[in-house]
Copies of this chain bind each other. A is one copy, B any other.
Amino acid sequence: MEAVPSTPARIADVAAHAGVGIATVSRVLNERGSVAAATRERVLEAIRILEYRPSSVAQALSLKRTLVIGVVLPFLTEASPIERVRGVVTALAASPYDIALYDVESADRQQRAFRLLADAHRTDGLLVVSLIPPDEEVRRLSAGSIPCVLIDAHHDGLPSVVIDDVGGGELATRYLLELGHRRIAFIGDKPADPFRRQSSRDRTIGYERALAAASVPMRRDYVREGTQSRHLARNIAEELLRLPEPPSAVFAASDVQALGVLEAARGLGVDVPGQLSVIGFDDIEIASYVGLTTVRQPLFESGRRGAELLLQALAGQPAPVHVETLPLDLVVRGTTRPPR
C-alpha cells in the first residue's frame, strides 16, 4: 500500500518514478511511437502507483483542442429546450466530447455566452439553441474556424436544424378551419429581446395565411401576443372568453400557453372541446397526458441532429452550410372538435 500523495502527480513525477524521460511517458500514454515492452511496463506501473491522470487543461493547451462542446441556450423558460438538450446529450454520449452548458437567461449572462462564442480556446465546437448569434460573433466564429451549428434558429453562413414555423402555424389553423371553426383566436409570445428567436412570430404568419386562404377575415381582437408563460396565457384566454363574441377555437403558439388556455376554460366553466377547441404547438410530454391536440415538432431529434452535424464538422467533413428542416405533425387528441 503506497502512501497517497497530497498533490496530484504530474507527468514529470511519473517519468522520475519510472526512471525515464517525460517524452516516453507521453508515448505510452498516447500509444504513439514505439516503446520497449519493459519500459512501457515500468511506466504503467509508475502511473498506477502514483494514480496519475493527465491534466486535460494542459493537454488542451498543448493540443489546441479541448474536447468540449459548448451548448448555448435559453434554459429555464420552457420545457422544449430541455428536450433538445436530451437529444444533444444522447448524440454526444458515444463521442469523446464533454458538454459545457451555457444558460442565457439574464441579459448579463447573454453577453457572456455570446462572447464565449468567440473564445476559440474554451470549446471545440458550439451548438446554439433557439438563439440568433450577432453577425459580429458569427464572423469571429468562422475566423477562429470553430464549427457551430444552430438549432431552432437560422443565420446565413451557419448550418442549422429548424422547422417550418410558418407552415406549422398554417397546419394548426387549417385544421381548425376544416373542423368548421371560423372564430379562431391566436395566443403567442410578445417580441422579446433581439437575440431570442421568435418562432411565435412565424406561427402567427402561418395563422394569418391560413385564414386568408380560407377567406376568413382576421380580427385584431383575436390575435394576442403577450406572453410565454402559462400564467399570462391563462389571463389572456380569460379575456378572450369574456369577449361579447368569444372565439370557438384557440391556437396557442406553444403547448405551455395552450395549457394556460385550458386552465382558463376550466376556471370559467367553459367545456373543452364542447364549447372551445384548443390546439397547441410542440408536443411536450405533458401534452399527451392532458390529451392536448397539437402540432408536434421533433424536439429531441433537433438536438440529436444538430449534434451529429457538429460532430461531422469536427471530424473534418466540411458539412455544407445547409439548413435541415425537420418535419411537423398534426397530433389530434381530445381538445379539438367541430364547433356546435
Question: Is A222 in contact with chain B by the CB < 8 A criterion?
Answer: no
Question: Is A103 in contact with chain B by the CB < 8 A criterion?
Answer: yes
Contact flag A103-B89 (CB < 8 Å), given A139-B4, A143-B6, A286-B286: yes
| A102 CA / B140 CA spacing, docked (Å) | 28
Shortest C-beta distance, A261 to chain B (Å), equals 13
Question: Is the pair B121, A93 in contact by a Cβ cutoff of 8 Å?
Answer: no
On chain A, the number of residues with a Cβ less than 8 Å from chain B's Cβ atoms is 47
Shortest C-beta distance, A139 to chain B (Å), equals 7
Shortest C-beta distance, A183 to chain B (Å), equals 27
| A106 CA / B93 CA spacing, docked (Å) | 8
| A58 CA / B58 CA spacing, docked (Å) | 8
Question: Is the pair B98, A102 in contact by a Cβ cutoff of 8 Å?
Answer: yes
Contact flag A98-B100 (CB < 8 Å), given A8-B144, A82-B82, A109-B93: yes
Contact flag A8-B53 (CB < 8 Å), given A58-B61, A76-B90, A105-B93: no
| A61 CA / B121 CA spacing, docked (Å) | 12
Contact flag A101-B99 (CB < 8 Å), given A140-B51, A289-B286: yes
Contact with B along A270-298 (1 / 0, CB 8 A): 00000000000000011001100000000
Which residues of A145-184 are within 8 A (CB) of B?
none
Shortest C-beta distance, A154 to chain B (Å), equals 23
Residues on B with C-beta less than 8 A from A4 are 139, 143
Question: Is the pair A8, B285 in contact by a Cβ cutoff of 8 Å?
Answer: no
Shortest C-beta distance, A321 to chain B (Å), equals 19
Please report A residues at the B interface, Cβ cutoff 8 Å.
4-8, 51, 53, 55-58, 60-61, 66, 68, 75-76, 79, 82, 86, 89-90, 93, 98-103, 105-106, 109, 115, 118-122, 139-140, 143-144, 259, 285-286, 289-290
**22 contacts across the A-B interface (CB closer than 8 A):** A4-B143, A5-B143, A6-B143, A8-B120, A8-B143, A51-B118, A53-B121, A56-B122, A58-B121, A61-B61, A68-B100, A79-B285, A82-B82, A93-B103, A98-B100, A98-B101, A99-B101, A99-B103, A101-B101, A289-B289, A289-B290, A290-B290
